[in-house]
């Protein structure tokens, strides 16, 4: 599927004018920027989990009941 899309893009690209190509390039860069910003970092995820486990073991948490009581004071 992706290969056929690549081929189709290559067919249309020469038909575009310079300004249209610049616009298309901007869209492509925008897509790649968004992908980079939302990339999932498994190493950071694992560090966050380890930190959370350590905090629970150290007693640094609030129970559901206590949280519900605290919320009523907001």
Domain boundaries in the chain?
A: 2-37, 42-71
Q: What is the pLDDT of residue 39?
A: 67
Task: Give CA angle at 21 (4, 34), nearest 5°.
Answer: 75
Q: What is the pLDDT of residue 57?
A: 94
What is the average pLDDT score of the chain? 90
Indicate the pTM of the whole model. Answer: 0.46
Q: What is the pLDDT of residue 67?
A: 93
Q: Which residues of the chain have pLDDT under 70?
A: 39
What percentage of the chain reaches a pLDDT higher than 70?
97
Q: What is the pLDDT of residue 25?
A: 95
Distance CA 72, CA 2 (A): 53
């Amino acid at each position: 599927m992706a290969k056929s899309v690549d081929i189709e893009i290559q067919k249309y690209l020469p038909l575009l004018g310079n300004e249209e190509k610049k616009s298309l390039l901007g869209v492509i860069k925008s897509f790649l920027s968004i992908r980079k910003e939302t990339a999932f970092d498994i190493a950071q995820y694992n560090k966050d989990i380890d930190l959370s486990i350590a905090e629970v073991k150290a007693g640094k948490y609030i129970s559901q009941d206590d949280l519900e009581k605290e919320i009523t004071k907001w």
